[in-house]
Structure 1
Amino acid sequence: MLLKEIKNIFHQELGPVYPKEEIDSFFYMMIEHYLGLERFVLALEPNLMVSKEEEGSLFSGLSQLKLQRPIQHILGKAYFFDLEFSVTQDVLIPRPETEELVQWILDTISIRKEDARESEKPIRILDIGTGSGCIAIALAKNLGDAKVFALDVSEDALKIAKQNALDNEVEIEFIHSDILQLKTLDDSFDVIVSNPPYVRELEKKEMNANVLDHEPNLALFVSDHDPLVFYRTITAFAAAHLKSEGVLFFEINQYLGEASQELLVDAKFTDIELRKDMFGNDRMLKGVLKQ
């Protein structure tokens, strides 16, 4: 069969569910993954034929897409900050908004290094609720002299994160613990970052089936009556474990920006900043602890 005919079938079958641009993206990701072909191949070879075996791989992927299974789960990988990560149903799929958070952290650390008058010890970073490890690994990859720790309650998630750290050739110290139960660590940190569960049950109706049915509820949802439980707990933990001038970063629920910010105010953080993401939603929060 002609490859361009298969592309047309993708659009016919997925058109009722996904926008055209997203279907194109699915198709190109699959031909790269299964056939080793670049996305511009049809422009160069519009009459390219594929074998029955190659057809089978693409149509198998199409069948899973029709069930709204995430493309990252079909291919077993996702990309974040120009790095490749293995992903399963045990971890959240990394999002581009979180890349913005990582860049903010890197920019903050870079400015601080420029302002430092003398050589400092390696920076110490803790990622709480690491999931796939994308935040911790991206930071470690871009901060060669940093000591990075990553904590998660899920043993299955930590297995994925540890493999991702190996695959991306970075050293991370992983901690298996529930932050809601963890009272203290025998460590202090320059930076604490967290993208904890923040989606309220009432917001489920706004979410697509490919998220609701295929990504871990443990990493997504909080109860409607106490949606900031993780933020309150982590803020208190950070107040006790950040060094003086240490920085706390959060990814947050877009509807709870002001309430999340107030937690840092109450905990005596300073230089508090709430930032919007690329879509114009309140998404990132930073505060500095001055002791």
Structure 2
Amino acid sequence: MKAKELHQQLTKALTSIYDGNEAQSIAYIWLEERLQLDKVNILLDQKEIDVKATTYESDLERLLDHEPIQYIIGEGDFYGRKFLLNKDTLIPRSETEELVWHILQNHKEGLLIDIGTGSGCIPISLALESNLQTIGLDINKNALEKAKKNAEKLGASTRFFHKNILEENLDDLDQPDIIVSNPPYVTEAEKAIMNENVVRYEPDLALYVSDDNPLIFYRRIADLAQKRLKKNGWLYFEINEQFGKETEQLLLERGFTKTEIIKDFQGKDRIVKGMI
């Protein structure tokens, strides 16, 4: 079977659970990662592929069970780099790439702490794209191990520490110029309408908050940032689109100035920032 035919076959199989564009994109990712074929090679390569000699059948079974391609191949793309992932790390999203981009427009140096770092994609990307010194914190030790491997693999000097931010403070760390966080913000009510590949496979610990206290992490991190940030330091949040005004109000109540709600590429409230 030729590469183009295999891509078409995989795309067709995946349209049973994904829309056409997403199915096609997943098929491209699979051929790139498993067979080292880019889009041009897929379209033009005329060499025969021995499908039985690949992981096609086992991978397709997992894909049809809604397992994300990023967990199957063990990595995902973020800000032009490939990050190692596991079931304890969220799959990086384009909205979070926008968060990184906005920080880079305003900050090129200083110390930044990322709270709830997961795979480390935020602090590692920022360290590699600027002169920022970066630290990542997470409650999940398995996620931190993957983050450390990503830093080593990509050549970043980012440091990582295990910390439960709801119970611990930041006093044992150097005083930061910037704090950033993409904390859990999906409410339990929203879980019912989310895609099965997210609900079944991505880590609950990194995604969900209770319906009656959806801003629990934002309040806590804002309190810590108010006390620990350097003068004229900045706090950046990725947020649930439903709570832009409420999140900004948290900052205003704690004395932050120059607050702003920033929309993502879909026109949804996605980032809140402020200076203390």
Q: Same fold by TM-score, threshold 0.5 exceeded? A: yes
Deviation at 1:16, TM superposition (A): 2.3
The answer to whether 1:72 aligns with 2:70 is yes
2:107 maps to which of 106, 109, 128? 109
Secondary structure of the residue aligned to 1:40 is helix
Deviation at 1:229, TM superposition (A): 0.5
Secondary structure of the residue aligned to 1:237 is helix
Larger Rg over CA atoms: 1
Secondary structure of the residue aligned to 2:165 is coil
Contact 1:31 1:58 in 2 (8 A): no
The answer to whether 1:10 aligns with 2:10 is yes
Q: Which residue does 2:49 correspond to in 1?
A: 50
Distance 2:51 2:198 in 1: 32
TM-score (norm 2): 0.95
Superposed, which structure 2 residues align to 1:108-147 within 5 Å? 108-110=106-108, 123-144=110-131, 146-147=132-133
- Consecutive unaligned residues in structure 1, runs of 5 or more: 111-121
- Consecutive unaligned residues in structure 2, runs of 5 or more: none
Deviations 1:220-262 (A, max 9, x none): 0011111101000000000011111100000001111111111
Deviation at 1:53, TM superposition (A): 3.9
> Equivalent pairs: percent with the same residue?
41
Deviation at 1:192, TM superposition (A): 0.3
TM-score (norm 1): 0.91
Q: Which residue does 2:159 correspond to in 1?
A: 173
Deviations 1:156-197 (A, max 9, x none): 110010000101111122111100001341431110000000
The answer to whether 1:234 aligns with 2:207 is no
Deviation at 1:4, TM superposition (A): 3.3
Deviation at 1:3, TM superposition (A): 3.1
Q: Which residue does 1:114 correspond to in 2?
A: none
Secondary structure of the residue aligned to 1:257 is helix
Q: For residue 26 of structure 2, what is the amino acid of its counterpart? A: F
Q: For residue 178 of structure 2, what is the amino acid of its counterpart? A: V
Contact 1:42 1:48 in 2 (8 A): no
Size of the aligned set, in residue pairs, is: 275
Superposed, which structure 2 residues align to 1:207-286 within 5 Å? 207-286=194-273
Deviations 1:205-233 (A, max 9, x none): 22101111111100000111111010000
Distance 1:236 1:42 in 2: 52
Deviation at 1:44, TM superposition (A): 2.0
